[in-house]
Amino acid sequence: MQPRTQRQKEIFDYIQRFIERHGYEPSYAQIARHFGISSKATIAKHIEALEKRGLLARSHANGSFGLNVHVEEAAGDAVCEVRLLGRVAAGAPLETVDDNGETIGVPRFLLGRVRPERVYALRVSGDSMIDEHICDGDIALIENRVDARDGEIVVALIEGSRATLKRLHRFGREVELRPANSQLEPIRLPASQVQVQGIFRGLLRPAA
């Protein structure tokens, strides 16, 4: 069973990435801060919805909050092939890399309701999105879309030639591409110079 809404999927994906990186579960406050949500009650409602769908289990011990993530075990055929199109910068924008015909196997559940043929993969280069637990060498799964909501992580094509992975925010006729790394500054450009090439939907981390 999959999350019912896009926000639920984003929260579920964030929890999984957080546990993978830190080895423990995020708190309500950490989840709320990550998504820029002021009310922890809103997060609690999403967590409750995920619990009802059997994707999370809550436990209370000594007043603390814990999450135990349950990922449905994939059936033998629940792996799909997506195209690996090259690299994308999580740092200074890189020149795009053409499709060389290579594909990779991806667990189907990572794509949620997005059809595999609408997804491609890019190898991450740089650490500008490290606070989102998107690290150098990871493989980002990207939905092939040219429209994005404010705050979504996108593959942005700058001046038609350089691609970067950042959070998108619009300010009138300008676009700000924000890193998730406190050591780096956002990139602000005229909207006419930025094209959305896809929306970040998931992550694969190659084995060490």
The DSSP bridge partners found for residue 119 are: 143
* Strand 94-95, strand 162-171: pairing: antiparallel
The CA distance from 55 to 20, in Å, is 16
Is 64 tagged catalytic? no
With the C-alpha atoms ordered 197, 203, 204, 208, is the resulting torsion angle positive or negative? positive
The DSSP bridge partners found for residue 177 are: 168, 187
Is 40 tagged catalytic? no
Catalytic-labelled residue, pool 40, 45, 128, 161? 128
**Strand spans (E) along 110-190:** 119-125, 139-143, 153-158, 162-171, 174-178, 187-190
The catalytic residues are: 128, 166
